[in-house]
Amino acid sequence: MGNQKKIPVSSIVHEQDLRKRNENYKKYVEENTPKNSIVKDTIQAFIVGGIICTIGQFFISYYQYLGAGEEAAKAYNSITLVFLSVLLTGLGIYPKLAKFGGAGTLVPITGFANSVAAPAVEYKKEGQVFGIGCKIFTIAGPVILYGIFSSWLLGLIYYILKLLKVI
Amino acid sequence: MAEQNSTKMVGKQSIVFNNPPLILAGSSIAGKKEGEGPLGHLFDTVQEDPMVGKESWEEAESELMKEAATKVLEKAGLKNSDIRYLIGGDLLGQLIATSFGVADLNIPILGIYGACSTMGEAMALASILVDGGFADRVLAITSSHFAGAEKQFRFPLDYGNQRPYSATWTVTGSGAVIIVNPNLHKPNLGEKAIVVKGVTIGRIVDYGLKDSMNMGACMAPAAFETISANLEDLNVDPDYYDRIITGDLGYVGRNILIELLKEKNIDISNNHMDCGIEIFDKDRQDTHAGGSGCGCSAITFTAYVMKQLREGAWKRVLFVPTGALLSQVSFNEGKTVPGIAHAVMVEAV
């Protein structure tokens, strides 16, 4: 708010050039739509994301205490967090956490689990094949596709660099 | 006769009826959240169960529509077979809420799509049919369901995400009216009769916005153009109406509409009302910019606006349901979100 010159309404209503009118309207709407506070959102995301990660660290330490190696403990932790996220999604609690925590709930593995579980719940009505089968990855799909693709690409680069004895 | 018909056309895009059709009855079926809102006590039925005892959101919405149709027939004291045509639509793909909701009524039907402006479009067409002598009694109906709309237009319900301030909350509910030839029915004693004086059919208005999370701003230009056209076509001032009632612009869209009109020296800041703002308490119900959906304007009209007219609190209103003409495909393909608004001039006589 404030610094820039405000878009006058007359530059929308009386503008004959439609492209210019649309540009002015877009700016006008941006100026006149209340925004969420980035500071508040960031702090909330930090707190919620931090709590999720602390819980994760607790599980890793606990599994190690029970005798698992570090790698195994991390894998068990992922499994545990995914389970908890799916459970909370099914109970309708995870969306409430996300409403408060934003990216704090989206970035950890729990967010990924939520994005798979939510369509599974929603599309169950459309059947096992065309419902859950086709639509379970509607949100997580891009992450999976481009995650696998970029690993493949990096693997290829690594392989070529090794052939050339660069590394 | 032909000459008489042509006189119904007024201005560029409006119609004033020779024999204003009577809105015999209206019904409103609302969801739980709507029932807890400021208008909650006015609805005919509040459905506490979001699934309405059915298996899916889509079936639930059809059931709401069936209840609204049954209720309006009951209130009008009519049977299905008394209704000449049914005009209805909803937000779901290929109008499945309507098709499955009203099939059992066995009334000849015209399905329409006007996004959230559907109630205006249905009432306009019903009135045209009645005044034109093509039908004696027409039932106009529409519905929306929060969960069904989220599923179709946004994300599955349990997916965790944040809604921006400008986002609206789709109303769960269904509203219906029966519009009849005024010579066939006498109004109840002690109550005002409600008639449709005329209509202004809206154009598709696109000011180039692409933000589907700010539908109020996408639709405000359509409401602006339709309201201006109505006032120009009829050559009246805004205070000719006791209320100018938009469908679901919400807080963001409402402010834009008022400012756009002010630039044309039309001041509606004192008599404007938006159904999306009236239906929820935004602070208590966390509905951000307000309610939206076909059901929003429909049940606000049938429960609240019709009551105000019947009791004589308002005499003339301009009912302007607003719609955003997008689909998930058009959004993904980077298209804009065009708006539409139809105006229905409703009077208590």
Residue in A105, A122, A139 nearest the CB of B157 = A122
Is B166 in contact with A33 (Cβ distance < 8 A)? Answer: yes
The answer to whether B164 faces chain A, any CB pair under 8 Å, is yes
Determine the Cα–Cα distance for residues B19 and B16; give it in Å rounded to an integer: 9
ipTM: 0.93
Give the separation between CA B341 and CA B197, rounded to whole angstroms. Answer: 17
Single-letter amino acid code for the residue at A135: K
From B259, which residue of chain A is nearest by alpha-carbon distance?
A: A9
Cα B26 versus chain centre, distance: 12
Alpha carbon of B72: minimum distance to chain A alpha carbons (Å): 31
B168 interfaces chain A, CB cutoff of 8 Å: no
d(CA B235, CA B237): 7
From first to last of its 349 residues, chain B has per-residue pLDDT tens of 444 556 799 999 999 999 999 999 999 999 999 999 999 999 999 999 999 999 999 999 999 999 999 999 999 999 999 999 999 999 999 999 999 999 999 999 999 999 999 999 999 999 999 999 999 999 999 999 999 999 999 999 999 999 999 999 999 999 999 999 999 998 777 889 999 999 999 999 999 999 999 999 999 999 999 999 999 999 999 999 999 999 999 999 999 999 999 999 999 999 999 999 999 999 999 999 999 999 999 999 999 999 999 999 999 999 999 999 999 999 999 999 999 999 999 999 9
| CB contact (8 A) between residue B164 and residue A36 | yes
Q: Does the residue A70 lie in any domain?
A: yes
Structure tokens at B204: 């598709």
Contacts with A44 (C-beta within 8 Å, 6 or more apart), sequence order: A100, A101, A102, A104
| Beta-carbon separation of B256 and A123 below 8 A | no
A153, A73: one domain: no
pLDDT of residue B104: 97
Of the candidates B160, B208, B264, the beta carbon closest to that of A26 is on: B208
Q: Within a domain: residue A114?
A: yes
Residue with tokens 């006015």: B42
Compare all CA atoms of chain A with the CA of B224 and give the residue at the minimum distance.
Answer: A13
Q: Token digits for B206?
A: 């696109």
Are A34 and B252 within 8 A, CB to CB? yes
Q: What is the DSSP string of B274-328?
A: EHHHHHS-HHHH--TT-EESHHHHHHHIIIIIHHHHHTTS-SEEEEE-EEE---H
Domains annotated for chain B, with CATH where assigned, are 1-349 (3.40.47.40)
Q: Are residues A148 and A129 in the same domain?
A: no
Provide the domain count of chain A. Answer: 2
For the record, the structure tokens of A32 come out as 């006149």
Residue ranges of B 199-238 with Cβ closer than 8 A to chain A: 207-209, 211, 214, 217, 221
Chain B hits for A33, Cβ within 8 Å: 165-166, 214, 217, 252
pTM: 0.94
> Diameter of chain A by CA atoms?
75
Domain presence at residue A44: yes
- Say yes or no: A126 and A62 in one domain: yes
Instruction: Please check whether residue A1 lies inside any domain of the structure.
Output: no
Chain B positions touching A105 (Cβ under 8 A) are 160
What is the C-alpha separation between B199 and B15, in angstroms, rounded? 5
Cβ within 8 Å, pair A34-B166: yes
A17 belongs to a structural domain: no
Could you tell me if A87 and A124 lie in one domain?
yes
Q: Which residue range forms the structural domain that includes residue A51?
A: 39-136
Inside any domain, residue A91: yes
- Compute the count of residue pairs across chains A and B with CB atoms less than 8 Å apart: 99
The answer to whether residues B110 and B87 touch, using CB atoms and an 8 Å cutoff, is yes
Is there a domain that residue A148 lies in? yes
* Residues A135-159 pLDDT 10s: 999 999 999 999 999 999 999 999 9
Give B46: exposed, middle or buried? Use CB within 10 Å, 0-12, 13-18, 19+.
Answer: middle
